[in-house]
Amino acid sequence: MTKMKKVTYAQAICEAIDEEMARDKNVLILGEDVGILGGNFKTAVGLYQKYGDLRVKDTPISENGFLGMSLGMALTGLRPIVEIMFSDFLLLAADQLLNQIAKIRYMSGGQAKVPLTLRTTIGAGRSSAAQHSQSLHAIMCHVPGLKVVVPSSAADAKGLLKTAIREDNPVLFIEHKMEYNQSYEIPEGEYTIPFGQANILREGKDITVIATSNLALKAVKAADELAKEGIDVEVIDPRTLIPLDRETLIASIKKTGRLFLADEGYERVNITSEIVMDLMPDIFYDLDYPPERLCLPNVPLPFSPALEFPLIPDQEKLYKRIKKIFKG
């Protein structure tokens, strides 16, 4: 029985980074405010004091520039962790991320190795409005060459981040900004979680719910409520979008015959569209009901809480939507 301890999501991330930096002297972290401040979301607290200026680097506001620099570092022996505060800002660094980092190994015929981890945040709910609340992980999956990791819980975040840092390929690591201050139980000691292995958070026989990031945790809570209505929900957290653990997802859908997906990206060109189409050739004849999903509607996120909250996918909306499938 693994001993558990209680930490915040942010602390879990910080521990992962700390452990990896201690383990390998070529690991460094750079980004805005990671140094003295310890990160805007407290994900690098104490690291600057511990590892020094060269290894914990505060950058100017030059996303494309310092992401490009991290590529140069990765090509010449280092293992940089780059923090870009909001997934919205990835767009400023889109050339370096999608034209350079994702492609350089391929274009060089396998000569280049890019052991780079890019961490960013998704999620709405802080009245940060349209340009600071987006979940743009789906479009980053489109260009081949990146691995994309979306942990749900703090425990998963720590294990998956350590794997990402040890991975010799570029990894986009997606954290949820609303989770940072939440407390969770995580295993003591060092542990890693491999990529391409989905996690069945809750077993059930009536419907398969595939949910990303913290929606997976919300789905479990909704499932517990639905159990009272006699609806037995199976919740799966895919953990990594690239590579996707197709086997686990397909096996579940073959068992239950119904599929519901949840993701906080905009509904159009959502990662759920891709997952359904990816799996469809293998699950079509197993479906007793057309697949449904809960995403952010196709509007920019408004500022006022009165407008924002009704749009964000949450536990209650999951409960209502899934109940409707069974009870009408």
Gap between the Cα atoms of 239 and 152, Å rounded: 7
**73 binds another protein, rule: CB under 8 A:** yes
From residue 231 to residue 260, the character string flagging contacts with another protein as x (rule: CB under 8 A) and all else as - is ------------x-------------x---
# of chain residues touching another protein (CB under 8 A): 56
Specify the 3-state DSSP secondary structure of 147. Answer: strand
Task: Give the E-state strand segments of the chain in sequence order.
Answer: 4-8, 27-31, 56-58, 79-84, 117-122, 147-149, 171-176, 183-187, 199-202, 207-211, 233-237, 240-242, 259-266, 292-296
Gap between the Cα atoms of 249 and 267, Å rounded: 21
Choose one: 183-191, 220-228, 261-269, 278-286; the region binding another protein (CB under 8 A). 278-286
Among 105, 158, 177, 218, binds another protein (CB under 8 A): 105
Residue placing its CB nearer to another protein in the complex, 225 or 286: 286
Q: Of 132, 267, 274, 292, which is the active-site residue?
A: 132
Residue placing its CB nearer to another protein in the complex, 102 or 296: 102
- Annotated catalytic, 137? no
Q: Of 15, 19, 20, 63, which is the active-site residue?
A: 63
Cβ proximity of 84 and 93 under 8 Å = yes
Cβ proximity of 183 and 153 under 8 Å = no
Choose one: 16-24, 60-68, 153-161, 223-231; the region binding another protein (CB under 8 A). 60-68
DSSP string across 91-139: GGGHIIIIIIITTHHHHTTT------EEEEEE---SS--TTSS--THHH
- Annotated catalytic, 63? yes
In angstroms, what is the minimal distance from the CB of 106 to another protein? 5
Choose one: 38-46, 98-106, 268-276, 304-312; the region binding another protein (CB under 8 A). 98-106
Please, which residues have CB within 8 angstroms of residue 49's CB and are 6 or more apart in sequence? Answer: none
Choose one: 69-77, 209-217, 229-237, 312-320; the region binding another protein (CB under 8 A). 69-77
Backbone φ and ψ of 307, nearest 5°: -95, -35
| Sheet of 240-242, strands arranged across | 56-58, 27-31, 79-84, 117-122, 171-176, 147-149, 240-242
What does DSSP assign to residue 321? H
Residue placing its CB nearer to another protein in the complex, 73 or 215: 73
Among 24, 33, 45, 69, binds another protein (CB under 8 A): 69
Among 42, 68, 232, 255, binds another protein (CB under 8 A): 68
From residue 180 to residue 219, the character string flagging contacts with another protein as x (rule: CB under 8 A) and all else as - is --------------xxxx----------------------
Specify the 3-state DSSP secondary structure of 57. Answer: strand
**28 binds another protein, rule: CB under 8 A:** yes
Q: Is the dihedral of CA 134, 33, 28, 59 positive or negative?
A: positive
Structure tokens at 22: 């201690």
Residues classed as catalytic: 63, 132
Chain residues in the site for another protein (CB under 8 A):
28, 54-55, 59-60, 62, 64-78, 95-96, 99-100, 104-113, 144-145, 147, 163, 167-169, 194-197, 243, 257, 284-289, 325, 328
